[in-house]
Amino acid sequence: MRGEPTKADVLQYLTCWLCKGVYRDAHTINECMCTYCKGCIYKFFGEHLNRNKCPQCNTELGGKPTESLVRDITLQSIVDWLIPDFKERDDKLKSQLLKQINEKRAIKGTLRSSSLGLPKNKAKQLSQPATSSSVSQGAGAADEPENTSQQINFEFKLLPFPDDDQHLRMPELPKKLKFANKNKTILTVKKHIHNYLREPIDNIELLCKNFPVADSHSLEYIKKTKWQNQNKVMVLQYKRKRRIMQSNSEK
């Protein structure tokens, strides 16, 4: 043990097992006291309808597992206290997302009732929400109005992870220092690696300070929650995923 714990040390204990990110609207399971982001745990039980055990510790939760979830105000307030500006951003993103969803719903409604009345190209435009651009931009980055958010001024290093297992090591990239928009997601970084090294995106794992980072998180978010050192260029490392659960996770 060495001296005072850092913010990063504390944040490690405030990390959702499902998304590997810091809790967003922390919810704790009463029976086992495992904590997740609200969105993550509801999504999990929504996608695994036959599953009524805690995903992390396998405690049996009965017929309606979501009923054992309790909002964890204490934990969440610690997170919000440690990274206050993240909460503000998160709230803003949430309200933006809600607005987008409502707008899409409204468009769908009008399409259903009056698609025949619309000029052809307009109807086509509306029925095809910008799928390609939203995929390439990743969650959160799309449709952000401010110009500043589009700037490419986030600096980070991308290095191969020196895994003990030779087979999991990947070659170096031609350039190690990268510049991107701070809202770009980890998935975008994986696509970038794929473009150079031809490794399938699903096979690539990214780590920050030896911890895996989730596809949906932005570079800025990783820097705030995992890297923690605002004055040093963030280092992300990449390696091949170890394949263990293949037969288990098959649909």
Q: Which is nearer to Zn ion, 23 or 238 (CB)?
A: 23
* 66-71 own/partner pairs: CB under 8 Å, 24+ apart: 66/41, 66/42, 68/29, 68/30, 68/31, 69/27, 69/28, 69/29, 69/30, 69/38, 69/41, 69/42, 70/27, 70/28, 70/29, 70/30, 71/25, 71/26, 71/27, 71/38
The Cα–Cα gap between 85 and 11 comes to: 15
Q: Which is nearer to Zn ion, 33 or 135 (CB)?
A: 33
In whole angstroms, the minimum distance from the beta carbon of 10 to Zn ion comes to 17
Instruction: Give the list of residues 6+ apart from residue 2 with CB closer than 8 angstroms, or none.
Output: none
Q: Which is nearer to Zn ion, 43 or 157 (CB)?
A: 43
Residue 76 vs residues 31, 98, 106: alpha-carbon distances, Å: 19, 21, 33
Q: Which is nearer to Zn ion, 94 or 108 (CB)?
A: 94
In whole angstroms, the minimum distance from the beta carbon of 239 to Zn ion comes to 23
Q: Which is nearer to Zn ion, 54 or 79 (CB)?
A: 54
In whole angstroms, the minimum distance from the beta carbon of 32 to Zn ion comes to 3
Phi and psi of 138, rounded to 5°? 80, 170
Using CB under 5 A as the criterion, which residues of the chain lie in contact with Zn ion when the complex forms? Answer: 16, 18-19, 32, 34, 37, 40, 54, 56-57, 59
In whole angstroms, the minimum distance from the beta carbon of 16 to Zn ion comes to 3
